[in-house]
Amino acid sequence: MNSKPEGAGARACWFVGASYGGTDDQTPRFLQEGTWENGYRDKYLDTVKSIQVGDRIAIKSSYTRKHALPFDNRGQTVSVMAIKAIGKVKENLGDGRTLKVDWKPFDPAREWYFYTSRITIWRVLPGDWTTDALIGFAFEEKAQDINRFRNAPYWRERFGDSAVDKRRFNWTHFYEAVADKLLTFRNRRDELLSGIHAIAEKVDCMSILNDQYQENIPGGPLKDICPFTAMGIFNRGITDANRKTIASELAGLLGVSEPVPDSFEGIPVLNNQRTWFFGYSYKRQPDDIDTLWEVFAQAIAFAESDDAEARSAFAAAYDKATESWGVGWNLTMGLYWIRPWYFPTLDGQSQRYISKKLNIQIGMNGPKGRCNAGDYLTVLDTLEARFQEDAYPVHSFPELSLAAWLFKDSGTSANPYATDPDAQDDEPDDGEISPDEIAADLKGLLPKFDDLMIPFLKHLRDRQEHLASEVYQNLKSEMGLEKYDVITLESTGQPLFDNRAAWAKSYLKKAELVDFPKRGYVQISEKGLKLLNLPQSELYKYKRFTDFFSVAPPVSDKLPPIVPYSMDDIL
């Protein structure tokens, strides 16, 4: 966590773990032998070599706790670090593993709260009030000023003295409780899914639970579910009233006693175009849903433990999950739902805020051009360190998500719905979006999707691969319609123009006039080029989306016929 530069005369102090594999505590042996050993043969070797004779060192054990604390934690989980022994380094053997130490044990161990680290070998420098306080507590046996830490920016939303009615993010209690109860259903999924199907029979806006067992053949009820999709049933583009109703029903099924939130401010939601974290039955692999349960369980374990083994287990589970169909940025949203104080969401709004406002680069070295575990944890670690700076714009992951929710830059407008950017790569399937959600007088300001199909094609005339979202933006700019981005779909917050352009793209694809060469990109086909080469007088005939199916240009009469689609078919 400590990223401060070493000042003149400053000398590092070291807080080190003593458990091998997370459970095999080596502290008694270290104290008896007057040594400390790095338990890894391939990690932290250079760090250990950098430790100097005379440096102060402490054996720590990091964990979390909700009960038996010397202050009111309001039911929130608190990071705790036990100081088991302190000492001075007498000799560094230079092998990256072994130190000789003159130890002084503490029995019982002395507990320190809030400012802890998940790093096995934590280098702490003096010069900041947090590090000075920790060094004084550990090596000079000074008392911790708990009230100062409780009310510091990073912790005050959870533990500070603010009035009850001014506390934000009360929804986090409910979301964490739902996650905890869901974990108990990991091996009782039939019971969980049966209950969710029962909820769907009570609630009108739950038509998202039908699976497809074979491609293009109507299927039947969903037979398995992952925990993120289960939480997603009330975290998608529907009204707050419906979200509360479904959340209440799910809480009753799971046995959650925390009250349903009054507000869902700043909580990212799934786009209605894609609410599952896995594919249809015919698309998904046999272990895809099990893989999602595993990363769910490992994320909770990692959030509740500062152990390096828990971090490694989470990273492995995260990377495996990202290889599954249906998993992308939505995984980070799901992690934020289940432990909002410990994991960042990288929905579209948050990505823009992190990169443009906070100037933090998000690595995208994983599958599908998304984060791998290393990228995600780097963002997490960087943000956690910066949150502790008093002048930083935000001081927690919930505060960051809320700030992103309200963020406006030169290219976007503040959006009340932070949604999953993965859905932008898919064909529109807004089965739960009614045209009545947008006032008729506003809808009339924008061209219908039929009117966008020829202009969309013209933007692809150069035969290059184009990012679909950039085509939408270029069309808007060309038509002078950027100011109408304030007209959005109520349920998802997506600009109405973008939604109609997505429909245009979808129908162009169905008419074989464009191809999708890779995720999120569109490219004109040979058939599309031939269409554009028709005389302008012929192009004028293409006024309705059905014209692209029913009026075939002469150049394409050898292509197989395309069955027309109607809006009713799709919706």
Overall average pLDDT of the 175-188 stretch = 98
What lies within 8 Å, CB to CB, of 70 at 6+ separation is: 146
pLDDT at 106 over 50: yes
Give one DSSP letter per residue of 314-332, joined into a string.
HHHHHHHHTTSTT-STHHH
Task: Supply the pLDDT for residue 314.
Answer: 97
Task: Supply the pLDDT for residue 1.
Answer: 44
Angle 187-189-192 from CA coordinates, rounded to 5°: 130
Asked if residue 350 is part of any domain, the answer here is: yes
Claim to verify: residue 347 and residue 452 sit in the same structural domain: no
**pTM of the predicted structure, to 2 decimals:** 0.70
- Are residues 190 and 258 in contact, defined by beta-carbon separation less than 8 angstroms? no
Overall average pLDDT of the 158-181 stretch = 86
Claim to verify: residue 160 and residue 192 sit in the same structural domain: no
Residues forming a β-bridge with 210? 221
- Tell the residue number behind the tokens 């099924």, with chain if given: 253
pLDDT confidence band for 39 (50 / 70 / 90) = confident
Longest Cα separation, the chain: 93
Helix or strand run (H / E) with residue 146: helix 146-150
**What is the extent of the structural domain holding 184?**
171-409
- Regarding beta strands 19-20 and 466-467, do their DSSP bridges make them parallel or antiparallel, or are they unpaired? unpaired
What lies within 8 Å, CB to CB, of 233 at 6+ separation is: 196, 199, 206, 208, 246, 250, 275
Question: What does the mean pLDDT of the chain come to?
Answer: 84
Claim to verify: residue 154 and residue 220 sit in the same structural domain: no
pLDDT at 238 over 50: yes
Claim to verify: residue 318 and residue 249 sit in the same structural domain: yes
Lowest mean pLDDT among 165-169, 203-207, 395-399, 471-475: 165-169
Task: Supply the pLDDT for residue 532.
Answer: 86
Task: Supply the pLDDT for residue 539.
Answer: 62
Helix or strand run (H / E) with residue 402: helix 397-406
Please say which residue of 143, 165, 187 terminates a domain: 165
pLDDT confidence band for 563 (50 / 70 / 90) = very low
Residues 459-516: tens digit of each pLDDT: 999 999 999 988 988 888 777 776 666 577 655 667 888 888 898 898 889 888 999 9
Token pair belonging to 174: 């409910």
Claim to verify: residue 147 and residue 192 sit in the same structural domain: no
Claim to verify: residue 37 and residue 88 sit in the same structural domain: yes
pLDDT at 435 over 60: no
Claim to verify: residue 81 and residue 66 sit in the same structural domain: yes
Task: Supply the pLDDT for residue 409.
Answer: 62
Provide the percentage of residues in the chain whose pLDDT is more than 70. 81
Task: Supply the pLDDT for residue 479.
Answer: 77
Task: Supply the pLDDT for residue 433.
Answer: 35
Token pair belonging to 155: 């912790």
Count up the domains in the chain and report the number.
Answer: 3
Asked if residue 7 is part of any domain, the answer here is: no
Residues 359-417: tens digit of each pLDDT: 999 999 998 889 999 999 999 999 998 998 889 999 999 999 999 988 876 454 444 44
Phi, psi of 228 (to 5 degrees): -70, -40
Comparing CA positions, the residue from 278, 205, 231 lying closest to residue 490 is 205
Please say which residue of 352, 379, 409 terminates a domain: 409
Comparing CA positions, the residue from 419, 46, 461, 109 lying closest to residue 238 is 419
Overall average pLDDT of the 298-327 stretch = 91
Asked if residue 6 is part of any domain, the answer here is: no
Claim to verify: residue 384 and residue 439 sit in the same structural domain: no
Task: Supply the pLDDT for residue 413.
Answer: 44
- Strand order from edge to edge, sheet including 35-37: 35-37, 98-113, 78-92, 56-65, 13-16, 121-124
Claim to verify: residue 304 and residue 179 sit in the same structural domain: yes
3-class secondary structure for 64-81? EECCCCCCCCCCCCEEEE
Claim to verify: residue 227 and residue 360 sit in the same structural domain: yes
Asked if residue 1 is part of any domain, the answer here is: no
Overall average pLDDT of the 89-94 stretch = 97
- Are residues 488 and 439 in contact, defined by beta-carbon separation less than 8 angstroms? no
Overall average pLDDT of the 522-541 stretch = 81
Overall average pLDDT of the 293-320 stretch = 92
pLDDT at 148 over 60: yes
- In 3-state terms, the chain is what percent helix, strand and coil (to 5)? 40, 15, 45
Spatial separation of the C-alpha atoms in residues 63 and 74, rounded to whole Å: 18
> Which has the higher per-residue pLDDT, 65 or 87?
87
CA-CA distances (angstroms) from residue 427 to 180, 325, 431, 490, 570? 34, 15, 12, 19, 11
Claim to verify: residue 55 and residue 160 sit in the same structural domain: yes
The 10 Å Cβ neighbour count of residue 98 is 14
Asked if residue 457 is part of any domain, the answer here is: yes
Claim to verify: residue 380 and residue 259 sit in the same structural domain: yes
Please say which residue of 378, 409, 440 terminates a domain: 409
Overall average pLDDT of the 7-16 stretch = 77
Asked if residue 322 is part of any domain, the answer here is: yes
Burial class, 17, CB count within 10 angstroms (exposed 0-12 / middle 13-18 / buried 19+): buried
pLDDT confidence band for 444 (50 / 70 / 90) = low
Asked if residue 417 is part of any domain, the answer here is: no
Asked if residue 31 is part of any domain, the answer here is: yes
> Which has the higher per-residue pLDDT, 442 or 510?
510
Task: Supply the pLDDT for residue 8.
Answer: 37
Provide the percentage of residues in the chain whose pLDDT is more than 90. 55
CA-CA distances (angstroms) from residue 42 to 39, 313, 374, 525? 9, 17, 17, 51
Task: Supply the pLDDT for residue 165.
Answer: 56
Task: Supply the pLDDT for residue 480.
Answer: 72
- Are residues 420 and 347 in contact, defined by beta-carbon separation less than 8 angstroms? yes
Spatial separation of the C-alpha atoms in residues 24 and 158, rounded to whole Å: 33
